[in-house]
Amino acid sequence: MEKIKVTVWNEYYHECTSEKIAKVYPKGIHGAIAEGLEAYPELEVRTATLDMPECGLDEETLNNTDVLIWWAHKRHAAIPDEIAERVQKRVLDGMGFIVLHSGHLCKPFVRLMGTVCRSKWRENNEKERIWVIEPGHPIAHGLPEYIELPQEETYGERFEIPAPDSVVFVSWFSGGEVFRSGCCFHRGMGKIFYFRPGHEAYPTYYRQDIRQVIANAVFWAKPSGGPRPTLGKFVPPLEQVEIADHSDEDHTPVA
């Protein structure tokens, strides 16, 4: 069976500029996420970072990616518009797109949502309880009723995104906020999943339950293999149809 090709993209900024963050993720956040996915023999995992040529998102890489996972925070503006458009087009063409934590402000996600994608936020070491509100959804497979993170960055509603096709998770924080933390969208032929947890200062991506969510999302978001519609050009009718000749009719407007 052909493997699902996954590219884990990370701006790889905090780990290179902060000793504190580097201690949490010595192999980078992308390394921790990739490590969790490598446990699945059905997946072929590679990583890419902002400092690579074409931000690691050249045409060949994207054309050989079934699911793109994106983590970013500080360097959203560093992504050239043409690369953001390249990612957007690949999603519309069927590539899965999983956006993590503050990646909700990255250019490709904003373009695909058509909104500013802002939310409330604060860093205060608060507890997050992630409730599974759609237990029948494939992304919830094998999870408990809720996931509890002892410390995380807080996000709060309103989250300025279009209404999701489905919301799998809702988070509650000890400061009182709630947040739609697991949102699914369809755009063109592609599927998109936004998952909120993963602040760089906490070891969230080493947790098995969080890794399970990301892996479930990969299997859900992979290309469907469905028929490719013919769009944007004239197509002949499938059946023979008789076209009436109205050339002799009087089309003078009635006063």
DSSP state of 124: E
The yes-or-no verdict on residue 250 having pLDDT over 80 is no
Among candidates 167, 179, 165, 169, which has minimal Cα distance to 143? 169
Judged by average pLDDT, the poorest of 11-25, 29-43, 238-252 is: 238-252
Rounded (5°) CA angle 138-168-151: 115
Residue 235 lies in a domain: no
Task: Report the distance separating Cα 194 and Cα 190, nearest Å.
Answer: 13
Radius of gyration of the chain (CA): 22
Task: Report the distance separating Cα 96 and Cα 214, nearest Å.
Answer: 12
Residue 124 lies in a domain: no
Residue 169 lies in a domain: no
The yes-or-no verdict on residue 254 having pLDDT over 80 is no
At how many degrees (to 10) do helices 208-221 and 28-37 cross? 80
Task: Report the distance separating Cα 62 and Cα 182, nearest Å.
Answer: 24
Domain count, the chain: 1
Phi, psi dihedrals of residue 153, rounded to the nearest 5°: -75, 140
Return the CATH number at 11: 3.40.50.880
Task: Report the distance separating Cα 105 and Cα 115, nearest Å.
Answer: 10
pLDDT of amino acid 235: 83
Task: Report the distance separating Cα 128 and Cα 147, nearest Å.
Answer: 8
- Tell me the pLDDT of the chain averaged across its residues: 95
The yes-or-no verdict on residue 253 having pLDDT over 80 is no
Residue 134 lies in a domain: no
Strand ranges across the sheet with 178-187:
43-49, 4-10, 67-71, 96-100, 190-195, 178-187, 166-173, 120-132, 146-156
pLDDT of amino acid 238: 86
Task: Report the distance separating Cα 79 and Cα 56, nearest Å.
Answer: 11
DSSP state of 1: -
pLDDT of amino acid 48: 98
What pLDDT, in 10s, does the model give residues 35-75?
999 999 999 999 999 999 999 999 999 999 999 999 999 99
Residue 127 lies in a domain: no
Residue 9 lies in a domain: yes
What pLDDT, in 10s, does the model give residues 198-246?
999 999 999 999 999 999 999 999 999 888 888 888 888 888 877 666 6
Please answer whether residues 64 and 46 qualify as being in contact, where contact means their C-beta atoms are separated by less than 8 angstroms. no
pLDDT of amino acid 158: 96
Q: Containing domain of residue 10, as a range?
A: 4-117+179-221
Listing DSSP states for 147-208 in one string gives EEEEEEEEEES---SPPPSEEEEEEEETTS-EEEEEEEEEETTEEEEEE----TTS-GGG-H
Confidence class for position 1, pLDDT limits 50, 70, 90: confident
Residue 38 lies in a domain: yes
pLDDT of amino acid 255: 60
Residue 36 lies in a domain: yes
